[in-house]
Structure 1
């Protein structure tokens, strides 16, 4: 693995990086690697949860649309006799 040193980093950027790392429960170094991967590697960017789930379901189901059952009227309430 290569090593990279970043000099003259703005204090505001360093502070935001520290906060992001804490939110993700990792070091600033790991957070920097994560950000660089997301930005520089094709297809590695995160999509929203709904989009990711949709793509997984389409992949697992073979891409077909599910047929929804026809709606019906609700059942009537049962009759109870008073004694």
Structure 2
């Protein structure tokens, strides 16, 4: 097991962690471990791109039908760029 030291934790954050540990019947060290475990799930792969992430986030809501949008051709002015 690794040993970790976290420096410069502001007083308000330390106090919130201490209170949450007490509410959950754990030591502050156990509460910090549980907080890290909850924040860093191992079974959830990260989406590969933004479109995939958006799709996965809203897929359960059923999606939406968008109307067809007429498009115009892009005209090339013949100049090399």
Give distance in 1, aligned partners of 2:43 and 2:22: 25
* Residue of structure 2 equivalent to 1:14: 14
From the CA coordinates, give the structure whose radius of gyration is larger: 1
RMSD, aligned α-carbons? 1.6
Structure with more relative contact order (C-alpha pairs < 8 Å, separation 6 or more): 2
For residues 32-66 of structure 1, the C-alpha deviation after alignment (integer angstroms, 9 at most, x for no partner) is 0000000112359xxxxxxxxxxxxxxxxxxxxxx
CA distance in 2, matches of 1:21, 1:13: 12
Look up the match of 2:32: 32
With the length of structure 2 as denominator, give the TM-score of the two structures.
Answer: 0.51
**TM-score after normalising by structure 1:** 0.50
Give the secondary-structure state (helix, strand or coil) at the position aligned to 1:21.
Answer: helix
